Amino acid sequence: MNEQVSAMLTNDPVRTTSSKWNWPTYIVAAARPHQWSKNLFIFAPLLFAGRLTDPLSLARSFTAFIVFCLLSSSLYVFNDWIDLEEDRAHPEKRDRPLASGQLPVATALGAAVVMALAAFVLSSFLGLSFFLITLLYFTLILAYCLSLKRMIVVDGMTIAMGFVLRVVGGAVSISVSASHWLIVCAFLLALFLAFSKRRQELIELAGNAGNHRSVLNHYSVEYLGQVNIVLVAASIVCYALYTVAPETVDKFHTDTLIYGTLFVIYGMLRYMALIANPENGGNPSKMLTRDKPLLATVVVWSLFNVAVIYYDRYEGYLMQILGTGQ
């Protein structure tokens, strides 16, 4: 047992060497800050609860965002340690700081522990309920890293549950209840993104896919393609139903949110078109930042929802300004 642990804590085989002065840069790279866009799900309850103009709610939501960024980064580092050999066989992941040998394993794990501890300390300031949600998230993703990612379907559902916990955490941080519709929409969207990534890995790695990720031996491109069609349709229908649900209409005093479904349809169909080209890869975070039409769709959808949700609240104020201007 001691020999196995010692072997995992070494960098062999090391492809490159680096000075310890470069380690902070490699730690940041291993933390994958570009993946923090996934934590934007935390702000969904803030938007749909009408709390965007509340300074305290904004501060608490931003704190929750930082907590999940620290937690997810610590888990990325831990996962890279677990997948060290598999990553070294991957054409892109072999250049990651741990897989390439640029960052010592002991240093990386030390940084991961510090990030996780900092996240839990910070989460305690948002209350016991939020702390327990972050602990559940950490435990769930840790279980994913250790074993769940090797189970067909369970791997994608675990990732999706991580997104659901982000939404629930965002709601708890500002003391509101997360809508069941919002939770289901988040789950379906995250499941679609997870299985889309699996499909891209199968296409990109071809016959070598199982050596990189063992669960890929149980998937096929055709199966995942069919699953994604179902998930896209379910996500769009679920979102449309949410916008016209009686509780939604009563809450916002309008059914105008239904028109935002157009942006949802365009965004998901464009994403499917993008991943049809293997050269685009399957990383949702990178896809969002690289594809301007997709990014613009997310921004316009957000602005549309802000306008609809907050119009009723500030209608009198706007009319007063317009009346004064005349």
**pLDDT tens, the chain, 326 aa long:** 444 444 444 444 444 445 555 777 888 888 888 888 889 899 999 988 888 889 999 999 999 999 999 999 999 989 888 877 776 776 677 777 777 778 888 888 898 999 999 999 999 999 999 999 999 999 999 999 999 988 999 999 999 999 999 999 999 999 998 888 889 999 999 999 899 888 888 887 766 666 677 888 888 889 999 999 999 999 999 999 999 999 889 888 889 999 999 999 999 999 888 887 766 666 666 777 788 899 999 999 999 999 998 876 655 444 444 454 44
* Identity of the amino acid at 243: T
For the domain with range 1-10+20-178, which CATH number is right: 1.10.10.1100, 3.40.309.10, 3.40.50.1820, 1.10.357.140? 1.10.357.140
Token pair belonging to 133: 């949600």
Helices and strands: H and E segment counts in the chain = 16, 0
Residues 6+ apart with CB under 8 A from 321: none
Calculate the alpha carbon distances from 32 to 5, 74, 138, 185, 278 in Å: 25, 10, 17, 25, 22
In the chain, where are the structural domains located? 1-10+20-178, 198-326
C-alpha to C-alpha distance for 171 and 127, rounded to whole angstroms: 12
Helix, strand, coil shares, percent, the chain, to 5: 85, 0, 15
Q: Is the Cβ–Cβ distance between 25 and 156 less than 8 Å?
A: no
Eight-class DSSP state of 300: H
Radius of gyration of the chain from its Cα atoms, rounded to whole angstroms: 22
Residues 6+ apart with CB under 8 A from 271: 196, 284, 287, 294
Planar angle of CA 233, 236, 242, nearest 5 degrees:
135
C-alpha to C-alpha distance for 201 and 110, rounded to whole angstroms: 30
Q: Can you tell me which residue has the tokens 């250790």?
A: 146
Calculate the alpha carbon distances from 281 to 74, 90, 214 in Å: 24, 13, 19
